[in-house]
Amino acid sequence: MARHRPAAEGGYQRGEETRARIIDAALRLFGTHGFDGASTRDIAREAGVNAPALQYYFDNKEGVYLACIDYFVERVWSLLEEVVGRAEAVVAREDASDAELIDAYLALQARFMAFLYEGPDTEHWRQFMARERAGLGPPAAFDRFDAGINHRLFSLTTHIVGRLTGQPATAESTRIRTIAIDSQVASFKVMRRHILKALNWQGYGEAETQRVQDVMHDQTRTLLEGLVAQRDR
């Protein structure tokens, strides 16, 4: 496992700054060239450090990659922790209404969309995570990402969808529905080039982002309310 330590000659703050610079450089190069295409030498050069410094902090290239995953997980929870906690509190109540469950899901979706669309470094994150989702990173990275984010979020959203459909959260049909609903948000970033061409947009600015968010919110509410109506029939 990669070590988390400051440079001996510069103290903790300087060590943390160097470590953060290496991670930022690695994200750009992993996003552009993939795990196999980005070398430790290239990452060190991009970060403005020598190769031994990279090994000092992360041991090897996989250690750098896993540090990128950890950083992404930290960023996600810094934004989602509050809204996820509120949604979990709603799900924990047996008397929670369908409307409350739907609102909890929509709040979670809106916050996750904000993270994907509004972050200042979303472009190289998008490239990095698209490769990771395609299984192009080291095997340990998937396990780290799954344990850090997917397990808790997927448990939450499957419980919401299960309650709205009247099916167990563990049922295969519930999990399939949940994956289909959850993946709507990420598709608008992962398929960026296709989306821009299909919508004849020149870029993803604030106005375009807001239009996507408005339509997605309305569509998801309609879908979830439809599942409730189907359950009640």
- The pLDDT value recorded for residue 192 is 77
205 SS3 class: coil
Q: Judge contact between 95 and 170, C-beta under 8 A.
A: no
Q: Judge contact between 128 and 31, C-beta under 8 A.
A: yes
Mean pLDDT of 34-56: 92
Is the pLDDT at 197 greater than 50? The verdict is yes
In the chain, the percentage of residues whose pLDDT exceeds 90 is 62
Question: Which has the closest alpha carbon to 115: 87, 162, 83, 141?
Answer: 83
Please classify residue 92 by burial: count the beta carbons closer than 10 Å to its beta carbon, then call 0-12 exposed, 13-18 middle and 19+ buried.
Answer: exposed
pTM: 0.82
- The pLDDT value recorded for residue 13 is 57
**Does residue 99 share a domain with residue 143?**
yes
Phi, psi of 176 (to 5 degrees): -65, -45
7 forms bridges with which residues in the sheet? 11
Domain containing 154: what range? 69-232
In a domain, 3, yes or no: no
In a domain, 5, yes or no: no
Mean pLDDT of the chain: 88
Task: Give the count of domains, the chain.
Answer: 2
Mean pLDDT of 105-123: 77
Residue 120's pLDDT band, with cuts at 50, 70 and 90, is very low
**Does residue 201 share a domain with residue 125?**
yes
**Does residue 53 share a domain with residue 26?**
yes
**Does residue 110 share a domain with residue 18?**
no
Is the pLDDT at 207 greater than 90? The verdict is no
- The pLDDT value recorded for residue 119 is 55
Residue 7's pLDDT band, with cuts at 50, 70 and 90, is very low
Is the pLDDT at 121 greater than 90? The verdict is no
In a domain, 203, yes or no: yes
**Does residue 122 share a domain with residue 42?**
no
**Does residue 111 share a domain with residue 194?**
yes
In a domain, 34, yes or no: yes
The CATH number of residue 78's host domain is 1.10.357.10
**Does residue 76 share a domain with residue 52?**
no
Phi, psi of 5 (to 5 degrees): -150, 150
**Does residue 92 share a domain with residue 165?**
yes
The residue ranking higher by pLDDT, 202 or 167, is: 167
Residue 203's pLDDT band, with cuts at 50, 70 and 90, is confident
In a domain, 2, yes or no: no
Q: Is 50 left (phi over 0), alpha (psi -120 to 50) or beta?
A: beta
79 SS3 class: helix
Mean pLDDT of 54-67: 94
Q: Judge contact between 5 and 57, C-beta under 8 A.
A: yes
Cα 216 off chain centre by: 17
The CATH number of residue 37's host domain is 1.10.10.60
Highest mean pLDDT among 25-29, 78-82, 118-122, 160-164: 160-164
Phi, psi of 29 (to 5 degrees): -75, -40
**Does residue 128 share a domain with residue 24?**
no
In a domain, 4, yes or no: no
